Amino acid sequence: MTPTIGVLSLQGDVREHLTALEHAGARPMTVRRTHELDACDALVIPGGESTTMIKLAGIFDLLDPLRAAVAAGLPVLGTCAGMVLLADRVLDGVEGQQTIGGLDITVRRNAFGRQVESFETELEMVGVQGPLHAVFIRAPWVEEVGPDVEVLARVEGGSAAGRIVAVRQGSLMATSFHPEVGGDSRVHALFVDVVRSAPGPRNPTTH
């Protein structure tokens, strides 16, 4: 099975995600409209600015379809701001900040600091063989996880040691860092495996 995986193309490293998905054995496509979302077996929500992305999703009439698709079991990988958008609860957000939801986690927005405090480090991640070079850019971290959420990675050193930076709940995955940066497609390959093993049908508007 070669799954069709969309990349929400409102902000962020869309091209890099498309390339990583192709290297991981998926058929990638961009998603800006509902009919494009309907054509996907799964979705990647890239980084960007979470409040801007949720506003753009509303402008493109995608917010409710995204929520419905996640609720119906569409596999989704959220990276950086994508993690914030998948979280059920957000700390340090703007007043009234909305999310797509689906992940039973509490995320602290911009937890690692401003752009100038961006950093890179090596991580061990469940399901990924060998160390992973992770790039954090104005990244969130996970403060709390629900009972059904698996922690996939934590920061291993420095002042943020022990902070949760990758999680999975069923067919939803999220990372604080940017796995599309640097040409390493192993996180995307892990997600493709999740998509292949997910029960279907998933999209309520096309099945």
| Residue 207 annotated to the active site | no
| Residue 40 annotated to the active site | no
On whether the CB atoms of residues 47 and 81 are closer than 8 A, the answer is yes
Q: Quick check: helix, strand or coil at residue 87?
A: strand
Q: How many CA atoms lie less than 13 Å away from 12 in the CB half-sphere?
A: 32
H helix count then E strand count, the chain: 6, 12
Residue in 80, 95, 143, 188 annotated catalytic? 80
Residue in 16, 35, 95, 180 annotated catalytic? 180
On whether the CB atoms of residues 179 and 187 are closer than 8 A, the answer is yes
Q: Which residue has the tokens 């093993």?
A: 197
| Residue 80 annotated to the active site | yes
Euclidean distance between CA atoms 89 and 81, whole angstroms: 13
Give the active site residues.
80, 178, 180
